[in-house]
Amino acid sequence: MTERPYVEVKDLRRVFDVSKPWLNRVLEGGEKQYLKAVDGVSFNIAKGETFALVGESGSGKSTVARMVVGLLPPTSGEVMIDGISMSSQAASSERQRLRRRIQMIFQDPYASLNPRWSVDRIVAEPIRAFRLIEDEKDINARVGELLSFVGLHPADGKKYPHEFSGGQRQRVAIARALASDAEFIVCDEPTSALDVSVQAQILNLMRDLQDRLGLTYLFISHNLAVVRHMASRIGVMYLGRIVEISEGRELFTHPKHPYTRMLLDAVPDVGMTGRQRIPVSGEIPNPISPPSGCTFNPRCPLANERCIEQAPPLLGGVACHAVHEGRTTTHAAA
């Protein structure tokens, strides 16, 4: 019997209606417009693993995150966690139990904590909502324990979010995510609003917690270096699709997809190692009217007729006709 992956995402799609209001369409004669934010994304995450989705703005990575935790219903496709489907067919009691095990850490720690609530109350909310502990005194003890677990003082619970720095707030958000004994945490750009030295604290904390509690992470980020540091497997997204998916080390040492290579070349060289790089060209097209075929074709040095006509399937971890056909050496030779 083969081991079932802890998280299975199958052919997830999400279309947003971005049309103008009905009256404007009638008067101005516009068409209905749709935005394919996520267009057939599939991946698995093993228990205790960190899987990362990396991409630039408009790649749909955050939309995937929201669908995986159930904040946003998918247009089609399915998310299974520990063999239970997140879609509405499943019995609601079963989903409520599943919900307790999935939590999320958000990008902006200034917006993810209710400004009118004390930290104690914020961290205790999941405990109360899932009725994990009934006795008030025990809840308080548990909240104090959670706060010290993420590196805060239990007495900090009496304070309000605005009394904390960004990094400390993100610690509170992590404590809240842990409060329901979650096993799977979706982290949507958890450190992109933080300073580097604080980012290092939070990333280290997240890894310590993973080691200790066996957490599974879905890590969303635009920062390749952060992703490299955190994830064992990585999916690179471009305009709603995964263009390459591979083991972390492999992706950084032997990137296959032309977009992945370009992205790696674009990252500033902090170490000043003087590595060889190819200059980046072009910008991300408007996702409402993406290019035909492979959406990367207008910026791709390897594009040919087929790339303009036909979207490449994800085969062997890469969605690129050129790689499939073995045309990868073209620009290296040039």
Partner 1 sequence: MAEAIQTAPTTPSEPASWVGRFLDSDVWASFKRSKLTIAAAFLTVLFMAAAVLAGVLAPQDPFDPAQLDLLNSRLPPIWNAEGMAPFLLGSDEQGRDIFSAILYGLRISLAVGILGVAFSATLGIALGLIAGYVGGTVDAVIMRIADVQLTFPAILIALLVDGVVKSVLGGQLDAGTTLSVLVFSIGLSFWVQYARTVRGSVMVEKNKDYIAAARLIGLPAPVIMFRHVLPNVLGPVLVIATINLALAIITEATLSFLGTGMPETMPSLGTLIRIGNNYLFSGEWWIVAFPGIALALLVLSINLLGDWLRDALNPRLR
Partner 2 sequence: MSVLHPVLSVRDLRVEFVTRRGILKAIDGISFDIAKGEVLGVVGESGAGKSVTGSAVIGLIDPPGRIAGGEIHLSGMRIDNLPPEEMRRVRGKRIGMIFQDPLTSLNPLYRVSEQLIETIRTHTNLSASAARKRAIDLLAEVGIPAPDKRIDSYPHEFSGGMRQRVVIALALCAEPELIIADEPTTALDVSVQAQIISLLKRLGREHGTAIMLVTHDMGVIAETADRVAVMYAGRIAEIGPVRDVVQNPLHPYAKGLMGAIPSLENDSSERLVQIPGSMPRLSAIPPGCPFNPRCPNVFDRCRVERPDPIQHSEHRVACHLYDQSPVRSEAVA
| Sites of contact with partner 1 (CB under 8 A) | 66, 69-71, 96, 99-100, 102-104, 106-108, 111-116, 125-126, 129-130, 145, 148-153, 155-156, 158-159, 163-164, 167-168, 171, 173, 176, 180, 201, 204-205, 208-209, 212
When the beta carbons of 204 and 329 are compared against partner 1, the nearer one is 204
When the beta carbons of 97 and 331 are compared against partner 1, the nearer one is 97
HEC assignment per residue over the chain: CCCCCCEEEEEEEEEEECCCCHHHHHHHCCCCCEEEEEEEEEEEECCCCEEEEECCCCCCHHHHHHHHHCCCCCCEEEEEECCEECCCCCCHHHHHHHHHHEEEECCCCCCCCCCCCCHHHHHHHHHHHCCCCCCHHHHHHHHHHHHHHCCCCHHHHHCCHHHCCHHHHHHHHHHHHHHCCCCEEEEECCCCCCCHHHHHHHHHHHHHHHHHHCCEEEEEECCHHHHHHHCCEEEEEECCEEEEEEEHHHHHHCCCCHHHHHHHHHCCCCCCCCCCCCCCCCCCCCCCCCCCCCCCHHHCCCCCHHHHHCCCCCECCECCHHHHHCCCCHHHHC
When the beta carbons of 126 and 255 are compared against partner 2, the nearer one is 255
Least distance between partner 1 and beta carbon 240 (Å): 21
Least distance between partner 1 and beta carbon 12 (Å): 18
Least distance between partner 2 and beta carbon 237 (Å): 13
Least distance between partner 1 and beta carbon 135 (Å): 19
Q: Which does 221 bind (CB under 5 to 8 A by kind): partner 1, partner 2, none?
A: none
Q: Which does 228 bind (CB under 5 to 8 A by kind): partner 1, partner 2, none?
A: partner 2
When the beta carbons of 180 and 216 are compared against partner 2, the nearer one is 216
Chain contacts with partner 2 (rule: CB under 8 A):
56-57, 165-168, 195-201, 203-204, 207, 222-226, 228-232, 248-249, 252, 262-273, 279-284
When the beta carbons of 135 and 283 are compared against partner 2, the nearer one is 283
